[in-house]
Amino acid sequence: MPQLEFWHFLPQFFWLAVCFVTLYCVMAFVALPRIGGVLARRKEKIEADLDAAGKAEAEADAAMRAHEASLVGAREAAHAVLAEAAEAGAAAAEARRRALDAEVAGRIDEARRAIDAARAEAMDGLAGMAAEAARAATAKLIGAAVSDDDLAGAVAAAREGRA
């Protein structure tokens, strides 16, 4: 193997040193500064993007808080409108109930008057019928005629006794 022969070591070391120094200089003065510049620009862009993201997040949070506040306000307004509508509906229902109660009370009073009038008419008719029946019974039983005043007094006395 030629690499292990002693008289080849010195030229190999020389070319190793030349290649190393050349590669070092190229890397130190050309490639690494460019790579460092790219990394620095990338870092700046990332930091700028992070700053922009932070600002956007803060704006989004502010917009969200404003939206939530407007939702709360809208809900409160809706509840107020619903409460007013419920109160108005309750008041209208109460007014309608009172009107119906008054109408029903009027009909009940009218029906009572009609019943009282019918009862009085029936009682008058009953009194007349009772007087005629008493006249006919008296005429058949004792054969005497009874005056209208006596019959009306007897029917009135019987009516008061039962009432």
| pLDDT at res. 140 | 83
| C-alpha span between 13 and 5 (Å, rounded) | 13
- pLDDT of 47 > 90? The answer is yes
In Å, how far are 20, 40, 46, 103 from 33, measured between CA atoms? 18, 10, 20, 102
- pLDDT of 143 > 90? The answer is no
pLDDT in tens, 125-141: 777 787 788 888 887 88
Question: Are residues 159 and 122 in contact, defined by beta-carbon separation less than 8 angstroms?
Answer: no
Helix, strand, coil fractions of the chain, as percent rounded to 5:
95, 0, 5
| pLDDT at res. 162 | 58
The pLDDT of 71-89, averaged and rounded, is 95
The identity of residue 42, as a single letter, is R
Question: Are residues 146 and 138 in contact, defined by beta-carbon separation less than 8 angstroms?
Answer: yes
**Domain locations in the chain as residue ranges:** 10-126
> 2: pLDDT confidence band, cut at 50, 70 and 90?
low
Rg (CA), the chain: 61
Average pLDDT, the chain: 89
